[in-house]
Amino acid sequence: MTDFKVVTSDFLNLQISTSKNDISFNEKRFPKDLIISDLKVKLEMITGGSCSTMKIQAFNKNDQLICDLDKDETLLGSYPLEDGMRLHVIDQFQLRSDLDLSNVPKYEITDDEYSKKSDSVRSFLQKNKLGKYNEQFEQKKEMLEAEEKKLAEQTHVGSRCKVTVQNAPDRLGKVMYSGPIQGLPGYWIGVKYDEPLGKNDGTCKGKRYFECPDKYGAFVKPVNVLCGDFPEEDYDLNEEF
């Protein structure tokens, strides 16, 4: 049984990883009074895994498993977590196979016939009120998606901006893209930084969203972008001595 501790501060800075394509994400900041069911909704927006079927494991800085965050109504801060630890999201319904099934005949079934089966994934989700059959989860997900979409629509291409990410210095740049990214959940802002502090050249997973030199581009969430009067700084690169 997990030993819980008393909540002593307001936030936790945690790394995020996922079993889906072994992707890792930047450190995220979560309030300790967030219940695990709401944490799952936020992690679904980050990782793309389903909040209704995900399993969350906590690892320390030495990659040792600390505990499972398996009680939906428990506060995040009640678990023995510290800044810098990692939450690993496992999508329990993600099926992986190395077999080549391209030549295997497909078994097809109508939607009505599938609905009548008692041993299907759909039946399991319906009985346990998971996924789209859980109205509370769906409402929270839709609310977060609507808020993120609104922020993205208010972030106009061509605007000067400041990007603020937890545990990283503020960076100035120009908004080059606003919208969805293929293969990633939610909405994203493409930024061309004034300095080579980015991670790409305006491409993501082989698809180009805007043009910029390598290491000047980045994709960040709308909540991390503030548009305003942020003039490009003069780094004296062309000054003669």
Of 118 and 56, the one with more pLDDT: 56
Neighbours of 84 (CB within 10 A): 13
Over the range 199-235, which residues count as b (16 or more CB within 10 Å of their CB) and which as e?
A: ebebbbeeeebbebeeebbbbbbbebbebeebeeeee
Domain boundaries, the chain: 11-91, 153-227
- pLDDT over 80 (residue 217): yes
Which residue has better confidence, 240 or 153?
A: 153
Is it the case that residue 31 has pLDDT exceeding 50? yes
Question: Between the ranges 8-22, 88-102, 189-203, where is the mean pLDDT highest?
Answer: 189-203
pLDDT value of position 216: 94
Rounded CA-CA distance 130/137 in Å is: 8
pLDDT at 80: 92
Classify domain 153-227 at the CATH class level: mainly beta
Q: Would you say 36 and 76 are in contact if contact means Cβ atoms under 8 Å apart?
A: yes
Of 48-52, 103-107, 132-136, 138-142, least confident by mean pLDDT is 103-107
Query: Helix, strand or coil for residue 8?
Result: coil
Using only C-alpha atoms, the chain has a radius of gyration, in whole angstroms, of 21
CATH of domain 11-91: 3.10.20.90
Tokens at 27, concatenated? 């450190």
What's the CA gap between 73 and 37, in Å, rounded?
6
Q: Which residue has the higher pLDDT, 88 or 53?
A: 88
Tokens at residue 184, please? Answer: 């990633």
pLDDT(118) > 90: no
pLDDT digits (tens, 9 = 90+) for 38-78: 898 888 877 777 777 789 999 998 889 999 998 888 899 89
Q: What is the pLDDT of residue 159?
A: 96
Give the pLDDT score at 141.
Answer: 77
pTM: predicted TM-score of the whole model, two decimal places? 0.50
Rounded Cα gap, residues 125 and 110, in angstroms? 19
CB neighbours of residue 92 within 10 Å: 12
Distance CA 124, CA 148 (A): 31
